[in-house]
Chains A and B, each alone.
Chain A
Amino acid sequence: MTITTADAKAAQLEAIDESGWGARFTFFQPHNPAFWVYVIGVGAGAIGMIKYFGPGLGGTYRLAVTSGIVFFGIYLIPWLLFLRRQNRYTAQPGKLLATGFVWGAVAATFWIALPANTALLEIWTKLLGPAGANTWGAGFSAPIDEEWSKGLGLILLIALAPRLVRSAYDGFIIGAFIGLGFQVSEDILYAYNNATASFGVGQLESSLFILALRGFVGITSHALFSAVFCAGVMWILGRAPGERRVGRGILACLAAMFLHFAWDDASGLFRFSTFLTIVAPYLILMPLAIAVLLVVRRLASAKERTWMRELLAPEVEAGVIDPPLLDAVSGLHKDRRHFAKLVHNKRRARHLIETAHDLAQEIAVSAGHETPRVAHARAELLRLHRT
């Protein structure tokens, strides 16, 4: 049994309550209207998907669709591993993130964005003429239809898991998963469209071409835009105490929409220079998008890091966790790097951080009570300290 001061214990319990960490996520909620809207959206999206791919899958374009699914299914693996690493602090359950992913892949794309983009692109063609719409239409349509359709998924997840989705960082991570679903679904659609553009000649080469092209630019695509947009939505809603920042939230949403617009309309934005038209998306827009992402991630994680410190404070007072390890487990990349230098062993540092995180998670799941799992997680940390 650890000895803690009453203040630290009270702060720990408050952090658990505020963050909702440890709460279970149940998808099937027939009493919840948000569940039915989710089912309608994904159901209608699935029907749209079958209508879109169905004729091709059953006929000439079978190879394009299946190779697109296989290639981008493989492409998904490193993305999931990367995003799993980002799902730190008061980590979201996999089932909740999968629910977001499916919304992005099925509902946001085939239920909302596809018909909305088709109509809006034609409106721009009527207003700007075909040449003007060719230059500006995509950038004037996609950031509205697609960022909003993905953002709606976050609103539904808040209604489905109100205790779990609290901080801007929750929005950031869930947004990334919704965006990743959208991205992969769109990539498969592009592989199919590219094959239809050549009337079915060289379908495998066509899918490989799309994999190479979209795979690379996907680094700063929907997953990134949605992470920034959804963090902005959470700042606007302010669901964690002290996190309501409407101005910052609107700015983040507009930044995501601007990056999306700039990427789609780079040929229009840089039309004064042929050289810039080719290189600016990679040398200007990609670094800009990554810089925005890092700033938003840093700002969004502030609350979660505070929760983590409060949650582990009693363990620090009890001497189970030392201050440098607390800084690492609740800190940024530079804090984890600093800790690795202190420990003189990257692997050991990683193990200590992960075990401290395990302890935090068990404390959260047990709502601050002492359980055999909490005791075991603590014993594991002490064992690692001794080795």
Chain B
Amino acid sequence: MTTGIPGWVPVEHRWFGLDRRSLKPALFVLIVALLLIYGWPALNAVIPWDNATKAGDVLDLGDGATAVPPVGWQLESGALVSDRTEVVPTQDDVKLAKGGTTIQMTGASFNGTAAQFLDQVLTSEDPEAHISGAPATLTTTSGLVGVVRSASGTGGDELLAAFKMSQSAPAAAPALLVDVSAVPGEFQQVSGEIEAFLRSITPGANE
């Protein structure tokens, strides 16, 4: 490689102080790495979402728990009951999106009440989130009692709803967090759909 002294590059192989003989592998690595890092996101950006929810769709939240998604939202993560896949309530998330609003549903193992779970979520998350609204109760059509807190700011609106997915033994049941975030000015347009969605959540089949 060199003329005997480590680091000494023969003059005919120099290019701006670099050894031209190593240029090819270095460029190969750089190009492949950049293709993987930026090529996939670029391709992802040009492929549109095409998985809109339809009337009659029912989300599978695992262990028999369900929710009815608003019609016309993109289901970006999660399974429908009709998919017949095995959903683990504490592992599989649901994500719905429409315009600048997203609904993220996350299950977790948690011993305690829905209010305690929401407190734990707020403690663990970004302190800058400024969830300042007072806790409110939300009862679903099936009778599940959840706790809701909301926040508004220059960055948009956020609503957090926490449930324990059992009416008979809520303390040991899996917890469910519904996180709705909307860009400024959009929450009011979808608030009716979101309320109907939250009220459609049902507990597991064992209830």
A residues touching B (Cβ–Cβ < 8 Å)?
A: 24, 26, 29-34, 36-37, 40-41, 55, 59-61, 111-113, 115-116, 118-120, 122-123, 125-127, 129-131, 134-135, 145, 148-149, 152, 155-156, 158-159, 162-163, 196-201
The one of B9, B25, B83, B91 in contact with A156, judged by C-beta atoms closer than 8 angstroms, is: B25
* B134 CB–A CB distance under 8 Å: no
B29 pairs with A125, CB closer than 8 A:
no
A200 pairs with B123, CB closer than 8 A:
yes
Hey, which chain A residues are within 8 Å of B44, CB to CB?
119-120, 122-123, 126
Q: B1 — nearest CB in chain A belongs to which residue?
A: A162
| CB under 8 Å from chain A, chain B span 11-66 | 17-19, 22-23, 25-30, 32-33, 36-37, 40-41, 43-44, 47-51
Q: A108 — nearest CB in chain B belongs to which residue?
A: B33
Q: A153 — nearest CB in chain B belongs to which residue?
A: B29
Hey, which chain A residues are within 8 Å of B177, CB to CB?
199
B43 pairs with A33, CB closer than 8 A:
no
Shortest Cβ-Cβ A-B pairs, 5 listed: A33-B26, A119-B40, A200-B124, A159-B25, A131-B83
Q: A127 — nearest CB in chain B belongs to which residue?
A: B47
Hey, which chain B residues are within 8 Å of A201, CB to CB?
108-110, 120
A216: min CB distance to chain B, Å: 19
* B6 CB–A CB distance under 8 Å: yes
**Binding-face segment, B71-79, B151-159, B192-200:** B71-79
Number of interface residues of B (CB under 8 A): 52
**How many A-B Cβ pairs are below 8 Å?**
132
B78: min CB distance to chain A, Å: 5
Hey, which chain A residues are within 8 Å of B165, CB to CB?
none
- CB<8 Å pairs between A and B, sample of 10: A26-B7, A31-B18, A33-B23, A34-B22, A116-B36, A130-B51, A134-B92, A152-B33, A158-B25, A200-B120
The one of A112, A126, A156 in contact with B26, judged by C-beta atoms closer than 8 angstroms, is: A156
B85 pairs with A135, CB closer than 8 A:
yes
B146: min CB distance to chain A, Å: 16
B40 pairs with A155, CB closer than 8 A:
no
A112 pairs with B33, CB closer than 8 A:
yes
Please report the C-alpha to C-alpha distance between residue A113 and residue B1 in the assembled complex, in whole angstroms. 32
A199: min CB distance to chain B, Å: 4
Please report the C-alpha to C-alpha distance between residue A62 and residue B166 in the assembled complex, in whole angstroms. 32
A134 pairs with B85, CB closer than 8 A:
yes
Report whether over half of chain B's contact residues are helix, strand or loop; otherwise say mixed. Answer: mixed
A349: min CB distance to chain B, Å: 39
Q: A160 — nearest CB in chain B belongs to which residue?
A: B22
B108 pairs with A199, CB closer than 8 A:
yes
Tell whether A155 pairs with B51 under 8 Å between CB atoms, given A29-B7, A31-B7, A149-B36.
no
| Given A26-B6, A199-B124, 14 more pairs with CB closer than 8 A | A24-B6, A34-B29, A41-B33, A111-B37, A112-B36, A115-B37, A125-B77, A129-B51, A130-B75, A131-B85, A134-B79, A148-B32, A158-B25, A196-B124
B37 pairs with A199, CB closer than 8 A:
no
The one of B48, B76, B77, B123 in contact with A60, judged by C-beta atoms closer than 8 angstroms, is: B123
Tell whether A199 pairs with B120 under 8 Å between CB atoms, given A32-B22, A126-B49, A159-B26.
yes
Please report the C-alpha to C-alpha distance between residue A107 and residue B83 in the assembled complex, in whole angstroms. 38
Please report the C-alpha to C-alpha distance between residue A30 and residue B120 in the assembled complex, in whole angstroms. 50
A19: min CB distance to chain B, Å: 16
Hey, which chain A residues are within 8 Å of B43, CB to CB?
119, 123
Q: B177 — nearest CB in chain A belongs to which residue?
A: A199
* B90 CB–A CB distance under 8 Å: yes
What 1/0 flags go to B79-98 for Cβ under 8 Å of A? 11001010000111000000
Tell whether A145 pairs with B36 under 8 Å between CB atoms, given A125-B76, A159-B25.
yes
A123 pairs with B50, CB closer than 8 A:
no
Hey, which chain A residues are within 8 Å of B36, CB to CB?
112-113, 116, 145, 148-149
The one of B9, B41, B78, B109 in contact with A115, judged by C-beta atoms closer than 8 angstroms, is: B41
Hey, which chain B residues are within 8 Å of A158, CB to CB?
25
Q: A128 — nearest CB in chain B belongs to which residue?
A: B51
B24: min CB distance to chain A, Å: 8
Please report the C-alpha to C-alpha distance between residue A30 and residue B32 in the assembled complex, in whole angstroms. 22
Please report the C-alpha to C-alpha distance between residue A132 and residue B175 in the assembled complex, in whole angstroms. 25
Q: B86 — nearest CB in chain A belongs to which residue?
A: A267
The one of B26, B51, B85, B108 in contact with A34, judged by C-beta atoms closer than 8 angstroms, is: B26
Please report the C-alpha to C-alpha distance between residue A120 and residue B47 in the assembled complex, in whole angstroms. 11
Q: A202 — nearest CB in chain B belongs to which residue?
A: B109
* B121 CB–A CB distance under 8 Å: yes
What 1/0 flags go to B116-143 for Cβ under 8 Å of A? 0100110111110000000000000000
Hey, which chain B residues are within 8 Å of A116, CB to CB?
36-37, 40
Hey, which chain A residues are within 8 Å of B25, CB to CB?
34, 155-156, 158-159
Hey, which chain B residues are within 8 Å of A156, CB to CB?
25-26, 29
What 1/0 flags go to B151-183 for Cβ under 8 Å of A? 000000000000000000000000001000000
Please report the C-alpha to C-alpha distance between residue A129 and residue B80 in the assembled complex, in whole angstroms. 11
Hey, which chain A residues are within 8 Å of B124, CB to CB?
60-61, 196, 199-200
Q: B108 — nearest CB in chain A belongs to which residue?
A: A198
Please report the C-alpha to C-alpha distance between residue A13 and residue B126 in the assembled complex, in whole angstroms. 64
A194: min CB distance to chain B, Å: 10
Please report the C-alpha to C-alpha distance between residue A135 and residue B83 in the assembled complex, in whole angstroms. 12
Tell whether A31 pairs with B40 under 8 Å between CB atoms, given A37-B30, A199-B124.
no
Q: Which of A118, A162, A197, A199 has the most CB of B within 10 A?
A: A199
B110 pairs with A130, CB closer than 8 A:
no
Q: A115 — nearest CB in chain B belongs to which residue?
A: B37
